[in-house]
Amino acid sequence: MTERADAHPEAGPTPAHSDDRARGMRLLRWVDALRPDAAGISRNFAAARGFSILMVVTSHYFSPSLLWVGSTVALFVFAFSSAHFTTEKYGTSVSIGRFWKSKFERLGWRLLTIAVFLAVVFLGQGESGMLTWQTLVAVTGLSGFLTWFGIPNPSPYGMGVWFLTLLLIFYAAYPLLARGLARPGGPLVGAVIAVTTGIVLEWTVPMGHMLWMTAGAFVLGVCWVLAGWAASPARTASLIVLAVCTIAAGYTIGAAYRSELNIIGLFALSLACVQALFVVPLPRVVLTIGAWLGVRSLEIYLIHTYLFVGSEHFGPAVGYLASVAIVIPSAWALHALASAWRLGSGRGAVSRVAS
C-alpha cells in the first residue's frame, strides 16, 4: 500500500512551499536591486531634510492638530540626517577649532541676514521688546535655552525655534562626541544610551516638545556612520509594526500608560522612516524639490511663523498656501543674499546660489 507523500513532512518541501520560497527570494532580489547606492542614500537624506522642514511649517500653521506627529518624526529625521552628513564629512579626527570655525562661517552670515530681515518685519508690525538681552540670545540661535529654563522672552525673536539651539549644541559637542563614540563598542553603547535615555527622559522630564527624542537622533546619526550599520526592508517593516502596535495598545489595553506607549511608538516610527531612506529610492522630482528646500531649510525654519497669513478670511487651505507662497520665496532670497555676502562677490554670487 502506497503512503501519502504528505504523511512524512521530513521527506522535503511540497511544490507549493517551493514556489512560495522562490517567490520570496525573487521579491528580496527585486528589493535589493532597488536599494539606492551611497550617493543615492545621500540624495535621499538631502531631500528628506527639505521636506522635514516643510512638514514643520505645515504642522505649525495648522496647530493644534495631529500633524504634530509628522512634525516630530520630521525633526527626528532632520537631526539624524544632519549628524549623518556631519560624520561622513568630518569623521572622528576633526580639529575642534577648525570645525567650529567652519560652522560659524557657514551659519553666521545666514543668521545675521535673517535677523536683519525679521527686524524690518517687526518694525513694520510695531513689535516691542526688540531692545532686550533676550533678542541677542534669540538671534544667535540660542532661544531654546529660554524655553527650556522657563525664562520669559519679551523679544519678538526666537518664536518656537528650539531645534536650532539643539543643532548648535550638537555642532559644539560633535568633535568630542565623535571621538568618544569611535572607541571599540562605542557606536552600539551610544545608540543604546541614546534610545533608552531619550525614552526615559520623555517620560520623566517632558518639555512640551520631543526634545530628548530629537537629541537622541543626533547621537544615533553619528553612531550609524561610525558603525557602518546597514538598513533592511524587513527591519523597516518591523519598526512600523512596533510603532502601530504600541500606539494602538495605548488606546486600548494600556490606556493607563498611553503617553509612555505613544513615545515608544513615535521612536519606532521615526527610526522606521530613517531606515526607509536607506532602502527606498525616491523619485527624481522628490529628490530635486527636497534638496532645493533643504539648502534653504534654516531660512524657512526661522522665518515661517512670522510670515503666516491668517485663515480668518480665506479659510485654512488658502491661508496655508498663501503662507507657503510667501515663506519659500523669502527664504530663497535671504539664502541668496547671505551667500552673496559670505562669498563677497556681489551679483555673481547671487546668480550662482539662485540656480
Q: Is there a domain that residue 52 lies in?
A: no
pLDDT in tens, 215-255: 999 999 999 999 988 888 888 888 888 888 888 887 777 66
pLDDT in tens, 291-304: 999 999 999 999 99
Q: How confident is the model at residue 346, as a pLDDT?
A: 45
Q: Is there a domain that residue 338 lies in?
A: yes
Burial class (CB in 10 A: 0-12, 13-18, 19+), 226: buried
pLDDT in tens, 263-296: 999 999 999 999 999 998 899 999 999 999 999 9
pLDDT in tens, 195-218: 999 999 999 998 888 999 999 999
| 15 pLDDT above the threshold of 60 | no
CA 210 to CA 243: how far, in whole Å? 16
Q: How confident is the model at residue 261, as a pLDDT?
A: 86
Least confident of 17-21, 68-72, 306-310: 17-21
Q: Is there a domain that residue 344 lies in?
A: yes
Structural domain of 323 = 316-355
Residue of 236 and 176 predicted with greater confidence: 176
Residue of 354 and 95 predicted with greater confidence: 95
- Model confidence at 312, in pLDDT bands (50, 70, 90)? confident
Q: Is there a domain that residue 321 lies in?
A: yes
Q: Is there a domain that residue 343 lies in?
A: yes
CA 289 to CA 296: how far, in whole Å? 11
C-alpha cell at 242: 512596533
Q: Is there a domain that residue 337 lies in?
A: yes
Selection from 269, 328, 303 nearest residue 72 by Cα: 269
The secondary structure of the chain, three-state, reads: CCCCHHHCHHHCCCHHHHHHHHHHHHHHHHHHHHCCCHHHHHHHHHHHHHHHHHHHHHHHHCCCCCHHHHHHHHHHHHHHHHHHHHHHHHCCCCCHHHHHHHHHHHHHHHHHHHHHHHHHHHHHHCCCCCCCHHHHHHHCCCHHHHHHCCCCCCCCCCCCCHHHHHHHHHHHHHHHHHHHHCCCCHHHHHHHHHHHHHHHHHHHCCCCCCHHHHHHHHHHHHHHHHHCCCCCHHHHHHHHHHHHHHHHHHCCCCHHHHHHHHHHHHHHHHHHHHHHHHHCCCCHHHHHHHHHHHHCHHHHHHHHHHCCCCCCCCCHHHHHHHHHHHHHHHHHHHHHHHHHHHHCCHHHHHHHHHC
Residue of 151 and 21 predicted with greater confidence: 151
| 354 pLDDT above the threshold of 50 | no
Domain count, the chain: 1
| 22 pLDDT above the threshold of 50 | yes
CA 327 to CA 27: how far, in whole Å? 43
- Model confidence at 13, in pLDDT bands (50, 70, 90)? low
Q: Is there a domain that residue 118 lies in?
A: no
Q: Is there a domain that residue 170 lies in?
A: no
| 85 pLDDT above the threshold of 80 | yes
pLDDT in tens, 94-137: 889 899 998 988 899 999 999 999 999 999 988 888 999 999 99
